[in-house]
Every structure is written in structure tokens, then in C-alpha cells.
Amino acid sequence: MADDQTCRSCGEPGLKAFLSLGETPLAGALVRPEEAHLPEARFPLDVAFCATCSLVQILEEVPPEQLFVDNYLYFSSFSDELLRHSREHALGLITERGLGADSLVVELASNDGYLLRNFAEKGIPVQGVDPAPDQAEAAERAGIPTIREFFDPELARRMRQESGPADVIIANNVMAHVPDLNGFVEGMSVLVSDDGVITVENPYVRDLIRHCEFDTIYHEHFCYYSCTAVDALVRRHGMYLNHVEYFPNLHGGTLRWHIGPSEDVSDVAASFLEAERSDGLDTFGYYAAFAERVREIKRELVGQLRALRSEGATIAAYGAAAKGKHAAQLRGDRH
């Protein structure tokens, strides 16, 4: 039990820890050659479940500046698949929402402007928000205005006062990175127009569990979301989870949640919520069983390494991306 910590979403105490991945350095904190002899800072990587609102979350909180300003090297435009996915998303919103020169599209964690460029080229006003200096500079060079701050309710009020409400807010692969979850969602509720839409993408915790993707758990991701947890979170701020899209081949399995100030829940969203209840995503046992699978993989790996050493083999290790091949694939499974 993590009795001394409260849930990032609902604030209730008594988080139930179910998996410990030890103490690890930050995935994105690359070491310069002249600093190779110095010890790296390490942080605990323990994962817990909130029985009140079903949110899965890590217990450690590394300062966001250390994660996303000082050591953040990711540029979205490097991924052709992500560019294709994002363009389809943007063009779909333009058509579905009838966006034009009188509209406003805001992206939170807009990175190098990779997504907003699709709106700007159609003459639709855009505003990016991203505190990472190199990425924000690249976006501005591409003609995407970018506010270099962390998004919160105060910034949302300032933006609304200066530019009016947003017809569309996009927050892709950022809500997992936010330690002040309620401040982030409150900010979106302040900024979105009365008939606007918010789309949020994040990896799906059900796929993480099903495919044993424990290598996608790291300090940048404070939270791992189900539809159940998202529904509870947005309702707390007077908004509703109205629709869900599923992309099984993106980041190990990703959901796009459509959130709005008015309740209009689609059959698809309702079916996701019901399926999660049926599968037990709102119970601690679901995650405890996953943790035992992870421990078994560890036991198998350690056993294999010891056997190889006993045979006189040489074992080498190398660094890879923060999210390398999933553990299930390393065992020879396919998903």
C-alpha cells in the first residue's frame, strides 16, 4: 500500500502499489562524454492503482522541468507514421467541425508544430503551447505561434482573454506527462468553447497490460489511462467523455478520447466503458496479475543470463530508445 500518497486524479489516499521496476535513470537524460564518470541520478519506478477512480500511476514525481525542458530531445516530425496519423486527424477535424478562418485550434504540447501545420495551411488560426525550447523554436520557424509555458488554468484564462475560446483543443501524448492532472484538465475546460471539442490521445493501459508492455513505463509517464479513469477525471471538471477511437498499432495501442462540455456519449464510448468493467480494469486484481507476469519474465531472463554465463558466454548490453521492443516480443510472442 502507498498510504501516504494520494491519487493524482481524485485525491483519495491509499493507492495500491502493484509493480516495482527498481530505481532507474531518466530515459531521456543522455550523458555527455565528459560526464560519463559521474553517477547518474536514479529515481524509483513504482506503479500503483487507485481503487476510487481506477487511475494507474507511478508514485515518484520528477520535476517537469527536469523531464521536459532540460532533457527533452524528442521531435515529432522525425516520425513519418506520426505525421501521417496527425494529418488524418487534422483533416478529419476540419471537415467534421467545419473549421475556417474564424476558428481557433489550440494544441497542448505542440512540439515542433508537426500537427498544427495541417490547420495553418488551410488558413485556420492556430496556437501551440510547449515549454520545450528547441521544439518551440522549430515550430515558430515553421510559422506556428507557440507559447513557451506549461499549460495550467492561469494560462488558459489568459489565452481565452487574449484570443477567445478554442473551437478545438488537441492534447496528444501529453496528459500522461502531467503531474498536476486536475490543473491541466481544468485549464482545458476554461479554454474550450461551449460547443467545442477536446481530443486527447494516450497509450491505452489495457493494451499495456494485455501485451505486457512494461518497458513503456518510465518517469515521463506519470499516468496510464483507461476510459474509466478518463471519464471520472473529466466529469470532475464539468466535461464528458463522448467518443473513443482506437489505434492498435500506434505506441503499442493508443486511444483518442473526444471530450466536450456537453454530454453526448456515443455507443462506442459506452461499449469501451462496459468492456473495461467486464474485464476488471476497475479492480486491483487485474493489475496484480500483470505484475506477476512481469516478475515471471524477470525470473526467466535472469535464469537465461546465468545459464549463458555458466557456459562461458560473454554478455553485452546496449542503450536503446525509451520505448524499445516490447517484452512480449522479446519472448517471441506477437501482438
For the segment 185-244, what is each residue's pLDDT rounded down to a tens digit? Answer: 999 999 999 999 999 999 999 999 999 999 889 888 999 999 999 999 999 999 999 999
Residues 6+ apart with CB under 8 A from 76: 82, 83, 86, 111, 112, 114, 115, 135
For the segment 255-284, what is each residue's pLDDT rounded down to a tens digit? Answer: 999 999 999 999 999 999 999 999 999 999
Q: Would you state the pLDDT for residue 335?
A: 32
Q: Would you state the pLDDT for residue 103?
A: 98
Q: Would you state the pLDDT for residue 64?
A: 66
For the segment 95-145, what is each residue's pLDDT rounded down to a tens digit? Answer: 999 999 999 999 999 999 999 999 999 999 999 999 988 889 999 999 999
Q: How far apart are the first and last CA of the chain?
A: 32
Instruction: Indicate whether 327 pLDDT > 50.
Output: no
pTM (2 d.p.): 0.88
Query: Kind and range of the H or E element at 292?
Result: helix 284-310
Cα dist. 66→89, 140, 199, 299 in Å? 31, 23, 27, 33
Q: Which of 47, 83, 45 is nearest to 250 (CA)?
A: 83
Which grid cell sits at 21? 521496476
List the domains of the chain with CATH numbers.
Answer: 2-61 (no CATH), 76-284 (3.40.50.150)
Q: Would you state the pLDDT for residue 328?
A: 34
Residue 1's pLDDT band (boundaries 50, 70, 90)?
very low
Average pLDDT, the chain: 89
Instruction: Indicate whether 326 pLDDT > 50.
Output: no
